Structure 1
Amino acid sequence: MPEVLHPVQPLAGPVPPPIQPGTRLRAGVVGLGKQATEDHLPGLLAADDAELVAVCDENADVVREQESQLEVSGYGDIQAMLSSEQLDFVVVCVPHSAGRKVIEMAAERGVHILKEKPFATSLTEAQALTALCERSEVELMVTLQRRFNPIYTSFTQLADQIGTPIVVDAAYTLHVDDPSDGWRGQNEVAGGGCIIDMGYHLVDLLLWYFGLPDRILADTSANARPDRSYDAEDTALIHFSYDSGLYGSLLLSRFIGPKSEKIQLVGSRGIVRLERGRIQRMTNDGKMVESLAREQAWPSAATSQINHFCHVIRGDRLNLSSPRDNIAHLAFIAACYESAGAGRHVNPKELM
């Protein structure tokens, strides 16, 4: 039977004071793992529109270290941080299964949320959290940094010059020596493996460029390290197609090195090939027509994303990755897992 949706009702909490024009928004970071320390903390420190005032993590040693280095308040409990600090938004970088609780607590207090991908661990959870954010009138934006990189934003412009799109060849692979290591190897905590985790970025690009497919056929495996015990897939091959005639495949893997990322679109009058840091338009026989490359200064994408979210909170820019937008992402992912389990095509639109 389908999972019954029980929307969460926000509790009454203190309402933050109105944001004054020109002021920097006060931010807290929840979860101090690699993603936070390498992207979000440096991004906040470099942002013009935000001010880092607090950090939170269950690991007391990590909190003390960041508290000392960054000269901010440190907490071991998010409720304590939300009660003690007048925050405008939080950046949420916790294991996937813990994300819902953090979102609920922030929404209860009217604190906006920049959520590290994925938005949720399931389609029904995504629908419940979308309803919660809308009732609580908080902005939530999922961290999808590629939307703030001109290499990726130029894809559609080049794709318009290659005629009728025919086929998409996409892949995102990297090598993790032990896919069982840490919480990412456990379905119960991660909500899945390479599809919902690292694959979320490529799913976002496919939906951004082409929309939600009409059919998905997926195969997954968790067999790269037979000497280890884990159930979150390390590799997935996903075939997708549209009623328009466009079709393609997406290879995702946490075990296939070296690290690479690509989307190649073949059209009736040319090819567009997108890789990390470079995009090319070619003729159908592979001759270069034009190319664009970018040397990205760290951590510019994270900073751009944070500054944009501050404008979203103020109401003068659109939310590029809202909860309602990300319901389609979770429908795509849910269709992949259902297809892999049932061995048949699944229409993600029907799941919505």
Structure 2
Amino acid sequence: MSSDRLKNVGLRPRVLVVGFAGHQGKEYLSIVRENADVVGGVDPAPAASALADEWGFPHYGVLDEALEKVEFDAAVVTVPHSEHFPVCTELLAHGRHVIKEKPFAVTEEEARQLIHLAQRADRSVFTLLQRNFNPVFRFAQKNLARIGQPYWFSYDYHLNLAHPTTGWRASREQAMGGVLLDMGYHLIDVLSGLFPEPPRVHSAFVHQYREMRDRRLEDLVSLMCSYPSTGLAGSLRISRHNHEKIERLCVLGTEGALNVAPQVATLHSVGGLPLDHCAWAGPKIDAVRSMIAHHLGHLDDRYYRQDHLQRQLAAVRTIDGIYRDRLGEQNKLADRCA
């Protein structure tokens, strides 16, 4: 149906935007319209109807109504974490492609179900992760082998929010996790493109604000990953309330080092001599534009789809495993105190 239409006629894909009235949805709207025809939007927010009128597409309060009334090829989904799985499963059951915000899924079980539904429907589920379309991170992946055998990495990603988390990310029922699931998903995905899944991960969860501790939504997480078969180890630190906003990845290898920040990556020799670098002065929106155009242009590319699904499964499995280990530790502690 939609796949045959796009391949045989060469038309622009018709897109339904789900959750378009939120911050991320509004950011994507103009970019989606550069590459597709937005034929409808779903969002129960009070401001959604006026926004849809402004952009010139029909507005629906619930997905079921849009599925009944609108013909579309793919949906761009930007909803709270708790809504990802039910929205995506319904779209796949109706034979639609899905382009969605991270995470791909909250649990490994949900991820496997989504992959099964996507394969059965012969449809794509692509996750929006802009670092994969940032030239600096692409340079890092392409040139990693130049530092020899990696033996250590450190990855820091911090925001500098001055107040407790607000909105749906402050709700356990909607967010379903703290900084690890939200910010950390980007980092785990980057590492999935560089290294295998870590067999062992030790974690420390920290709460700056009491209300976040009570809701079991971590403000900071520190991870130690180890890969015994290769001798590789590494650390990740992720937080929302640092004194400065920063992202930095460093990989040490037997023949040099690779340092990566969002706008520059540098290769150094063992002694510290600069060997090569990649600088990118473009705004973040350029990477977002490239990402959305790429996904919309590869909806029917089964090879790209399969690679993407397997990489997302690895990321979800890692994060879900960390949360499950954390819950197990808490249950053991509760049993000791009982």
Same fold (TM over 0.5): yes
The answer to whether residue 301 in structure 2 is matched with residue 315 in structure 1 is: yes
The answer to whether residue 149 in structure 2 is matched with residue 150 in structure 1 is: no
Describe the superposition over 1:107-149 as per-residue Cα deviations: whole angstroms up to 9, x where unpaired: 1211100011001121111112221222222211111111112
Which SS does the other structure have where 1:213 is aligned? Answer: coil
Match of 1:41 in 2: 29
Identity of matched residues, % = 28
Match 1:79 to one of 57, 64, 76: 64
The answer to whether residue 216 in structure 2 is matched with residue 249 in structure 1 is: no
Match of 2:109 in 1: 124
Q: How big is the shift at 1:175?
A: 2.4
Paired AA for residue 238 in structure 1: L
TM-score by length of 1: 0.86
Cα distance in 2 between the residues matched to 1:292 and 1:159:
13
Cα distance in 1 between the residues matched to 2:248 and 2:284:
21
- C-alpha spacing 1:91/1:58, structure 2 compared with 1 (3 Å): same
Match of 2:247 in 1: 261
Describe the superposition over 1:31-84 as per-residue Cα deviations: whole angstroms up to 9, x where unpaired: 12111112x21221333xx222222211132x2232132112222111112221
Match of 1:168 in 2: 153
The answer to whether residue 99 in structure 2 is matched with residue 114 in structure 1 is: yes
Question: 2:75 touches 2:97 (CA, 8 Å); kept in 1?
Answer: yes
Cα distance in 2 between the residues matched to 1:225 and 1:135:
44
Match of 2:188 in 1: 203
Match of 2:177 in 1: 192
Cα distance in 2 between the residues matched to 1:95 and 1:160:
38
Question: 2:141 touches 2:193 (CA, 8 Å); kept in 1?
Answer: no
TM-score by length of 2: 0.89
Question: 1:139 touches 1:322 (CA, 8 Å); kept in 2?
Answer: no
Cα distance in 2 between the residues matched to 1:162 and 1:287:
12
Match 1:303 to one of 286, 289, 312: 289
Question: 1:238 touches 1:336 (CA, 8 Å); kept in 2?
Answer: no
Which SS does the other structure have where 1:266 is aligned? Answer: strand
Q: How big is the shift at 1:255?
A: 1.6
The answer to whether residue 163 in structure 2 is matched with residue 178 in structure 1 is: yes
Q: Give unmatched runs, 5+ long, in structure 1.
A: 1-14, 345-352
- C-alpha spacing 1:249/1:139, structure 2 compared with 1 (3 Å): same
Cα distance in 1 between the residues matched to 2:194 and 2:284:
26
Cα distance in 1 between the residues matched to 2:306 and 2:258:
24
Count of residue pairs the alignment pairs up = 325
Match of 1:225 in 2: 209
Question: 2:80 touches 2:168 (CA, 8 Å); kept in 1?
Answer: yes
Question: 1:272 touches 1:280 (CA, 8 Å); kept in 2?
Answer: yes
Q: How big is the shift at 1:162?
A: 1.4
Q: How big is the shift at 1:289?
A: 2.4
Question: 1:121 touches 1:190 (CA, 8 Å); kept in 2?
Answer: no
Paired AA for residue 18 in structure 1: R
- C-alpha spacing 1:226/1:208, structure 2 compared with 1 (3 Å): same
CA RMSD in angstroms, aligned pairs only: 2.1
Paired AA for residue 113 in structure 2: A
Match 2:54 to one of 60, 65, 69: 69
The answer to whether residue 10 in structure 2 is matched with residue 22 in structure 1 is: yes
Cα distance in 2 between the residues matched to 1:111 and 1:80:
15
Moved more, 135-144 or 179-188: 179-188
Q: Give unmatched runs, 5+ long, in structure 2.
A: 331-338
Which SS does the other structure have where 1:86 is aligned? Answer: coil
